[in-house]
Amino acid sequence: MIEVVGVEKRFGSTTALAGVDLTVRPGELVGLLGHNGAGKSTLMKLLAGQLQPSAGTVRVGGVDVGADPGEARRRLGYVPEEPALWEYLSAREFLEFVVSVRGRGDVEAALAVTGLGADADRLVREYSQGMRRKTAIAAAVVARPPAVVLDEALNGLDPPSAVRVRDHLRELCAEGAAVLLSTHVLETVERLADRVVLMTRGRVVEDVRVAELGDGGLEALFRERIRPD
Amino acid sequence: MNPYRLAARRQRAAHRRVHGLAGWVGLLLPVLAGAAAGRLAPAPFFDPGRDVAAGLADIGGRVAVLLAAGVALAAYQAVVRGPDRGVVDLHPVDGPSWFDARLEEVARGSVPWLLAALAFVHPLGVGTAAYAVVALGLVLGWFVAVCAGVGVNTVAPALGLDPRWAPVLDGIRGPNPRLQAALLYAPGVALTVAGLAALAGTAGAAALVEGRPEAWEMLVPLVVGAGVVAAARRRAQEVVRYPVVLGEIEAAWAAREQGEEARHVYLDWVVRLVPAGWRRDLTRELRHLWRTQRGWSLAAWAFAALAALESWSGGAQVGVAGVAIVALGAVRAGAEDPPWLDAWLDLGPWRRAAARAGSVALHASPVVLGTGVGFLHGHPAPLVAAAAALVLVALLSAGVSVALRARAVPVYLPFAVLVWGVLS
C-alpha cells in the first residue's frame, strides 16, 4: 500500500505540492502523469524518503516514511530517474549486494527480468543506458517489496525488455504489491496501469480507472485536463 | 560478511583488473611528489634547531595538520557526497556495518597521502631517530584524521535534524538552510579535532627524543580517534536520515537560486574588473567552485579572523596555512571534472588553469585581508607572506587540479606544506 494524505511541499515561496492525496492499493498499478514541473518527481522523492513533507503524511507498506525511514526503505523498491549503480560491479554482484542488505531475494530470478544473459557478469561501466536501467529495476524488485515506485524507469528500454519488465510488474501486483509508475509515455500507462492519476501545478486533477477512459483514451483526457503553464 | 565491505572489495579488485599498472600511478605519484617537494625545501625547513624536540614537533606538526586537513576533506567526500550515496540511500542500511566499511575505505584511500607525507620529510634522514619521531607523529595524525573525519561526518545529519540543536545551528548557519549547518561545519570540526590531536601526537613523539615524560601525549590521537569512532559507530544507524538531509538542502538551494544563480554567484562582481577575454572562463570557474565547495570558500573568512588576531603580534602561520587550506577545496573541485568537458567547451588546459588560479585567489583572498590587521599595527611581514602564499598556492592548486584531476590532492599537499614552511 502506498498512501499520500494531504501532502504539501514548499521550497521557500515555491509550492511544489499543494495538498496531494493518493492511494495505491495492494495489487494495483497506478500510472502518474503530468507535464514537467507538475510535482511528480517531488512526490516520488517524498515516497523514497529523500524529502520531507511540509504538511501531511506519506506511508509506504503501512510505515510512515518520516517516522521510520529505515523500515520504509525495506518495504519500498525505488527506481530513480537516473539509475544509481556501482560502476565497478557486475549486475550479478550488484544484485547480490542488494539481496544481502535487504535480507531476501532471488538474484537469478531478478536477472531473468533484465534479460542481460551473459552480460550480467560484465561490469556496469560497460553497460548501455538501457542495460543500466534494467539493472536498476531488477535491484528495486529483487526482494519483492510490497511497494514499488518507478520514476520514468521504463524510458529507453528495448521492446523485448519493456515487455518483460511490464510482465514482471504485473506479476508483482498479482502477489499483492502496490506499484506507482511515473512516465511521459501515455501508451505505457494505458497498456499497463489499472488507474491513472494526472497532476498539474502540484495538485491531483484527475484520478480515473483506465478501463473507464472515454473514446479518445488517455490522450484526450490528458489534453483536456493538463495544460502546460 | 559485511555486505558494504564485500562490495568495496569487489570494486577494488575490478578496478585493478581494468586499470592494471595505471592504477599504481595513483599510489606512486603522491610519493614522488612528496619526495620532490622535500628535496626542493630549503635546508632550514628540516633543521630542528638547538631545541631538537621542539623543532621536530614543529616540523611534524605542520605536515600532520595539513595531512589531517586533506584526510578530513576526503572523509567528507566519502561519507557525505561520495558515489556510494546514490546506491546506499535506496536500500535498508545496517549503520554499523556501513560505518566500518566507510572507515576502511577512507583509511585505504588516504594511505597514498600518508606515504606522500612520509616521503616529504625524507631529508630528515630515513632511518634516523629524527625521521622515526616525525614519521610516528604523521602516522598518528593520519589515524586520528581518518577516525575524526568519518566519525564527525557520520553523526552530522542527526544533529541537523535534532530540534535541541536548532538554536545553535540557527546561530551559525548564516544564509544556509539549517539542515546544512551541521554538514557545513562538520569538516571544520573534524579538522580541528584531528589537527589538535595530531599536534599533541607529534609533540609526544618528539618528547621521546629526550626521554621526557610528555611522551604520553602520543596517546592523545589514539584515544581521541578510538573515542570518536566508538561514539559515532553507536549512532551510525542515523545515516538512514542522510538522504532527506541532503535532499532538503539541495532543494532549498535550488529554490533559492532558481533563475538567479546563472547570473549571480559569490564574488562574481569581480569579473567586471578583468579583461573581457577572460570574463567567461573566470565566471565559469567561480560558479564551479561556489557550487561544489562553498564550505571551503566560506571557511576563508574564519581563517581571516584568526589570521587577523595572529598577525596583530606579527605571526604569519595562520595566514599562510589558511590560504593553503582554502585552496585545497579548489583542488577537490577539479577532481570531478569529466575529461571531455574541456574539449566540449573548447577550453585548453592553460586557459582552464589560469581561470581556476584566478578563482582560487579570489576565494582565498579574505585570509590575506585578515593579515592586513598586522600591517596596520606595524607588522607587514604576515601580509607579505600571505600574499605570496596566495599567488603560489593559486598557481599550484590550479595547475595540479587541471593536470591531475582526481589524483591532484596528494600531489598538492606536500608542496602546500613546503609553501607554508618557507613563507611562515
φ, ψ dihedrals at A223, nearest 5°: -65, -35
Amino acid at B77: Q
A51:B247 CB<8 A: yes
What per-residue confidence (pLDDT) applies to B259?
A: 52
CA-wise closest residue to A138 among A188, A89, A88, A77: A77
| pLDDT band at B258; cut points 50, 70, 90 | low
- Rounded to whole angstroms, how far apart are CA atoms A54 and B281? 40
Q: What is the mean pLDDT of residues B79-86?
A: 81
Grid coordinates representing B350 are: 592553460
Interface check A15 vs B, CB under 8 A? no
pLDDT bucket at B185, cuts 50 / 70 / 90: confident
- The confidence score (pLDDT) of residue B291 equals 76
Instruction: Tell me the average pLDDT across B63-68.
Output: 85
pLDDT at A162: 85
Query: What proportions of chain A, in percent to the nearest 5, are helix, strand and coil?
Result: 40, 30, 35
Instruction: Give B256's pLDDT tier (boundaries 50, 70, 90).
Output: low
Predicted local distance difference test score (pLDDT) of residue A11: 83
Neighbour order of strands in the sheet with A14-24? A14-24, A2-11, A55-60, A63-64
* pTM for this model (two decimals): 0.78
What integer best gives the mean pLDDT of chain A?
89
| Sequence-ordered list of residues with C-beta below 8 angstroms from that of A165, at least 6 positions apart, any chain | A113, A134, A137, A154, A157
Closest of B194, B162, B171, B164 to residue B76, by C-alpha:
B194
Note whether A97 contacts B3, CB cutoff 8 Å.
yes
- Find how far residue A99's CA is from the centre of its chain: 19
Nearest one of B156, B159, B151 to B231, comparing CA atoms: B151
| Cross-strand bridge partners of residue A11 | A14
Number of neighbouring beta carbons within 10 Å of residue A221:
18
Measured distance CA(B53)–CA(B23) in Å, rounded: 39
Q: How far apart are alpha carbons A172 and A62 in whole angstroms?
A: 18
Q: Which residues of chain A make contact with B244, given a CB cutoff of 8 A?
A: 49-52, 66, 69
Q: What is the pLDDT of residues B300-357, one digit of tens each?
A: 887 887 888 788 878 888 889 889 988 988 888 887 777 677 777 777 888 889 999 9
Burial class (CB in 10 A: 0-12, 13-18, 19+), B240: buried
Interface size between A and B, measured as CB pairs under 8 A: 91
Cβ of B11 within 8 Å of Cβ of A100? The answer is no
- Residue A229's pLDDT is 53
**How much of chain B is in helix, strand and coil states, percent to nearest 5?**
85, 0, 15
pLDDT tens for residues B135-145? 999 999 999 99
> Do B91 and A98 make contact, defined as CB atoms within 8 angstroms?
yes
Whole-angstrom distance, CA of residue B375 vs CA of residue B156: 39
What's the pLDDT score for residue B263? 57
Contact B306, B322 (CB under 8 A): yes
Identify which of A71, A93, A103 has the shortest CB distance to residue B10: A93
Specify which of B101-105, B129-133, B210-214 reaches the highest per-range mean pLDDT: B101-105
Q: Which residues of chain A lie closer than 8 angstroms to B237, CB-CB? A: 70
- State the nearest Cα–Cα gap between B178 and chain A, in angstroms: 13
- B94 and chain A in contact, CB less than 8 A: yes
B406 touches chain A (CB under 8 A): no
Does the beta-carbon distance from A73 to B92 stay under 8 Å? Answer: yes
A133, A84 contact by CB (below 8 A) = no
Task: Note whether B175 contacts A: Cβ–Cβ < 8 A.
Answer: no
The proportion of chain B whose per-residue pLDDT surpasses 90, expressed as a percent, equals 28
* A50-54, B45-49, B93-97: segment of lowest average pLDDT: B45-49
For chain B, positions 70-89, list CB contacts with chain A under 8 A.
83-84, 86-87, 89
Q: How far apart are CA B237 and CA B225, in angstroms?
A: 20
Separation between Cα atoms, residue B299 and residue B293, nearest integer Å: 10
Pairwise CA distance, residues B183 & B179, whole Å: 8
Q: Do B244 and A52 touch (CB under 8 A)?
A: yes
Predicted confidence band at B255 (pLDDT cuts at 50, 70, 90)? Answer: low
Task: Check CB contact of A62 with chain B, cutoff 8 Å.
Answer: no
Average pLDDT over residues B277-300: 81
β-strands A147-151, A178-182 pairing: parallel
Burial B184-222 (b: 16+ CB within 10 A, else e): bbbbbbbbebbbbbbbbbbbbbbbbbeeeeebebbebbe
Do B87 and A84 lie within an 8 Å CB cutoff?
A: yes
Count H helices and E strands in chain A, helices first. Answer: 8, 10
pLDDT of A28 above 70 = yes
Of A47-56, B59-68, B380-389, where does mean pLDDT reach its minimum? Answer: B59-68
How many Å apart are CA A142 and CA A77, to the nearest integer?
Answer: 9
Which residues of chain A neighbour B92 with C-beta distances below 8 Å?
70-71, 73-74, 101-103
By the CB < 8 Å criterion, does A69 face chain B? yes
Q: In B244-399, at which residue ranges do the beta strands (DSSP E only) sit?
A: none
What whole-number distance in Å separates Cα of residue B216 and Cα of residue B208?
A: 9
Contact B370/B306 with Cβ under 8 angstroms? yes
The reported pLDDT for the residue numbered B82 is 77
Q: Do A74 and B92 touch (CB under 8 A)?
A: yes
Q: What is the pLDDT of residues A153-193, one digit of tens each?
A: 887 788 888 888 888 899 999 999 999 999 888 888 888 88
Residue type, position B424, single letter:
S
Q: How far is A84 from chain B (nearest CA, A)?
A: 5
CA distance A17 to chain B (A): 13
